[in-house]
Amino acid sequence: MNKPVVLRFAPSPTGPLHIGGVRTALYNYLFAKQQKGRLILRIEDTDQNRYLEGAEAHIRESFKWLGISFDEGVEEGGPNGPYRQSERARQGIYRQYASQLVESGHAYYAFDTPEELEEMRNRLKAGGQKLVQYNYAVRPQMKNSLNMPPEEVKARLDAGEPYVIRMKMPRKEEIRFYDEVRQWVVFHSSQLDDKILLKSDGMPTYHLANVVDDYLMGISHVIRGEEWLSSTPLHVMLYRSLGWEDHIPVFVHLPLILNPDGKGKLSKRQAYKLGFPVFPINWQDPQNGELSVGFREAGYLPEALLNYLALLGWNPGTEEEVMSLDRLAELFSLEKINNSATNFDPLKLKWFNQVYLRSKDVEALLPMVKEELKKQELPLPSDEFLAGAIELLRDRVQFPAEFVTAAPYLYAAPEQYDEKTARKRWTPEAKQHIAALLEQLKMLENWDAAAIKATVDTYVETAGIRHGLILAPLRLLLTGQPKGPDMFAMAALLGKQACTARIEQAMNQLPLAA
């Protein structure tokens, strides 16, 4: 009988949620949905020295905005709680298994002081050792329970002497495990150190807590970043040493997401240099107050971001690109995850954002446009006007804010006019024709795009002039810009009174080209 599919995403609240972590969570989510399994959000907060206030809240708010939900977690509850490892540590869960490993001979107490550890490292470096680590070759010379009589160990423990519990890695053993992306992976134990499992403050390290919780929570698949591949041999050894070999999960280590130029792992510094975020939502560092703008605040839609991320390291095997979360879950499979790193392409992400923005109905876009008008301190028109503005600009914008920033003249008469266009187009002849056209436009009773265009066409034909002589300066007077959406549709939206007033105002204040 196949065991239930249970996955977990286990972030550490030591900083904001990075976009690489979002992709990891997304793949866990898609596979859980595809397999009709469960997804747990577990907070791995055992590193109290690096804990950052607000990081957990940032992680939770990010997932709410993204639309990635969990079946179990701190807020969701569930049968496997508590879901913060610090709370689980206070219950003694990890110490129990660390002690079991000591008793079975797979781990040991180490009483070495920081000074003694530093002396050991310096000695190894001076001797030209390539591996400067606490391992099988070093442990006989160190202060640990492997080199002490049981009575001395007990006395030190009873006296409250600080200690850690270290894993006793075998000296000569091949540790093999299968990874769904890389297939068979082999490490030799001689290259691995005796990692700390329980720290002197009583908190477990990531390695022990990770394995214990994955076992107790029935995790069937571990989908995580490539950086954890080198830790997997220790995790496999922990499963074996604790008698859980039949419960070793399926491992899936995801390839890196690289900077757009392919040089190095995607970093905040490089991303911001190129003008795109790396965090889902705004993050204000509590240590230095620095504000990092998130994808949400930069105007990206969550469905566009998730769609792009899903394809950043995975191929659906079809020609489809634009897919909902449900469709992605339907097609998702571990076998189609790439085994090589992928460059982050901000232009492709913008394309996805534009596609999703175009597909939204007016009712969904109205609140976004109103929010931007508020930010720009511009007057708020009627919903009917805004609906017309959205339809006018829908195919020209990539971000919701551009419904305002790309066409501020829709919401207020221009105060400045493009100098280059004015020098070239605003000639005495153009002004003469615009003045004559304006009188005809004032007489229009049916002010719609077709009637405005017909009036202009008739005037051009009657005057025997080129359209260009009158269209470019007319747009300049109405908007202050040389380019924009369809001018007749725009004029219809602005209304007769606004258009005629703008033309008259510009004719009075805009100097003619020499």
DSSP helix/strand/coil, 1 = coil
DSSP helix/strand/coil, 55 = helix
* Sequence-distant (≥ 6) Cβ neighbours of residue 424 within 8 angstroms: 513
* Helix or strand run (H / E) with residue 143: none
The string over 258-271, giving b where at least 16 C-beta atoms fall within 10 Å of a residue's C-beta and e elsewhere, is bbbeeeebbeeebb
Taking the C-alpha atoms of residue 477 and residue 422, their distance in angstroms, rounded to an integer, is: 9
Residue 506 Rama label (left phi>0; alpha psi -120 to 50; beta): alpha
* Sequence-distant (≥ 6) Cβ neighbours of residue 264 within 8 angstroms: 258, 270
Q: Which of 24, 394, 397 is nearest to 224 (CA)?
A: 24
Are the beta carbons of 279 and 19 closer than 8 angstroms? yes
Residue with tokens 């469905």: 303
Q: What is the dihedral of CA 50, 55, 59, 61, to 10 degrees?
A: 180
Are the beta carbons of 281 and 58 closer than 8 angstroms? yes
* Sequence-distant (≥ 6) Cβ neighbours of residue 291 within 8 angstroms: 282, 283, 284, 285
What is the maximal distance between C-alpha atoms in the chain?
A: 112
Catalytic residue among 268, 350, 431, 453: 268
Cα dist. 470→429, 460, 473, 485 in Å?
9, 8, 6, 17
Q: Which residues are registered as beta bridge partners of 136?
A: none
Phi, psi of 254 (to 5 degrees): -80, 145
Is 64 an active-site residue?
no
Crossing angle of helices 428-442 and 449-463, in 10° steps, is: 130
Q: How far is CA 386 from the centre of its chain?
A: 31
Cα dist. 449→443, 453, 496 in Å?
15, 6, 11
- Kindly list the catalytic residues: 268
